[in-house]
Amino acid sequence: MKRLLTLTLGVLTALCVTAQSQDSCRKSRLQIGGYGEAVYSRNYYSDSPYRYSTAASHKNDKHGRFDIPHISLSLSYDFGKGWSVSTEVEFEHGGTGGAYEKEFEEGGEWENEVEKGGEVEIEQFWIQKTFKPWLNVRAGHIVVPVGYINASHEPLNFFTVYRPEGESTILPSTWHQTGLSLWGRTRSWRYEVMCVAGLNSANFTKENWIQGGSGTPFEFEPANKVGFAARIDNYSIPGLRLGLSGYYGHSSNNGYNTETGKNFEVDGAVAVGSFDFTFDAYNWIVVGNADFGYLGNATAISEANQRQSNSSPYPRTLVGDHAVALGIEAGYDLFSRFARLRRSGQNCYLFARYDYYDSYNPSQSGAMDYPWTERSVITAGINYKPIPQIVLKAQYSQRFLKTPYNNEPALSFGVTYEGFFIK
């Protein structure tokens, strides 16, 4: 009897180990993971704030930069009975740093020094109840998946060293707001609809359109106005994903009520529509996006923003009534041509990308335009993946601007990782 019991336990253990190796055993309730990027760029153009207003005097400027664009740490836990929670903390550009120092050259005075610029953000914090695979309810701080890069912002989802700049220029990236989401997945479809805190038109600019609208300088997220977002993806064709997404919400007076004056009575409606796709088959990866956005009452919002006091935390600039971003990239795995490298599990993608975007279109005919906001970008480079979780990236890119502005070439290198440490 004892021998039979021992044999049975041994068989069950072997079966469980085999099943775990095939991901068919129950996964850990705790998941810890994240992603990170470290970058060096040599930019053969000026970083002066006057490079567009006095372009001729900055024609031969150049500069270099080290950067840590994003480091993200995520923690998820499955409580059981359909309840789960997830948190993601992101450190952008190395986080922030400050310290008190004694300045001996100034009589030993104490000074509070800013030692490191950057941001630390709670990018996600939500509680979820799963009823069925096609019906999940999520509440908390949520990613708004409008556009390709917001739905797929991790660094292994794009070839470029930095996030593709068209969408990242005109839309918040990564776009995250507090609210409620309903989502689900079937065999060929995934959907998501959500109600979230609205954008703040005081943060809109001509250089980045509504990109800063999801941010807040306060200890709270204003929600005088709310926004609605939706996304649907189709996976019917093997290797191909097609996605549609959009957003609508009012943006004016979505801060302190006294910021823009008593007579500021416009809606500032924001409408964004986006199409994106991913094709991953036959050793090719092709990704594309097309985004168009409209801002109502742009003239009134521009005037109100410029009326802000000098002590205001807002940028106080003009904003256009529409913006556009188009992009496509394609990469081919060179290692797929060699049997030995193919068996090693390594990949080496040679890629090219094209972007076109314009972040500022005047809301009135005859209004002053800023043609440098309209750009085309061509990028070419290579991605080497020694293992699936790590990518080494190198690229050459050039922004093409209208005359009399200078084109902006750059050479960039990056190393990234993405994965789970516990899952």
Supply the DSSP string of 380-393, one letter for each residue: EEEEEEEETTEEEE
Query: What counts of helices (H) and strands (E) characterise the chain?
Result: 5, 19
* Residue 26: DSSP 8-state: P
Q: What is the C-alpha to C-alpha distance for residues 345 and 298, in angstroms, rounded to an integer?
A: 52
- The residues facing 289 across adjacent strands are 276, 327
The yes/no answer on whether domain 128-411 falls in CATH 2.40.160 is yes
How many other CB atoms are found less than 10 A from the CB of residue 253? 24
- The residues facing 278 across adjacent strands are 241, 287
Residue 7 has φ and ψ, to the nearest 5°, of -65, -40
Residue 36 contacts residue 62 (beta carbons within 8 Å): no
70-to-66, 74, 141 alpha-carbon distances in Å: 13, 13, 18
- Tokens found for residue 71: 């480091």
Q: What is the Cβ-side half-sphere exposure of residue 187, based on CA atoms within 13 angstroms? A: 3
Residue 393 contacts residue 411 (beta carbons within 8 Å): no
Return the residue matching tokens 């601007």. 401
Residue 412 contacts residue 41 (beta carbons within 8 Å): yes
Q: What is the pLDDT of residue 381?
A: 98
Amino acid letter for position 391: V
Of the candidates 301, 395, 412, 320, the one whose C-alpha atom is nearest the C-alpha of residue 365 is: 320
Q: What is the C-alpha to C-alpha distance for residues 170 and 287, in angstroms, rounded to an integer?
A: 19
Return the residue matching tokens 């068996």. 343
- Helix (H) or strand (E) segment spanning residue 168: helix 165-170
Prediction pTM value: 0.88
Q: How confident is the prediction along the chain (423 residues), in pLDDT tens digits per residue?
A: 444 334 433 433 443 444 444 444 456 899 999 999 999 999 999 999 899 989 999 999 999 999 999 999 999 999 999 999 999 999 998 887 776 665 555 555 666 666 677 788 899 999 999 999 999 999 999 999 999 999 999 999 999 999 999 999 999 999 999 999 999 999 999 999 999 999 999 999 999 999 999 988 888 888 889 999 999 999 999 999 999 999 999 999 887 765 554 456 789 999 999 999 999 999 999 999 999 999 999 999 998 888 888 878 888 899 999 999 999 999 999 999 999 998 999 999 999 999 999 999 987 776 788 999 999 999 999 999 999 999 999 999 999 999 999 999 999 999 999 999 987
- Tokens found for residue 5: 């019991």
- Helix (H) or strand (E) segment spanning residue 3: helix 2-21
Residues in the chain: 423
Q: What is the pLDDT of residue 97?
A: 75
Residue 272 contacts residue 305 (beta carbons within 8 Å): no
Name the residue ranges covered by the structural domains of the chain.
Answer: 128-411
Q: What is the pLDDT of residue 8?
A: 39
Q: What is the pLDDT of residue 104?
A: 54
Q: What is the C-alpha to C-alpha distance for residues 299 and 307, in angstroms, rounded to an integer?
A: 13
Q: Where are the alpha helices (DSSP H) in 330-419?
A: 339-344
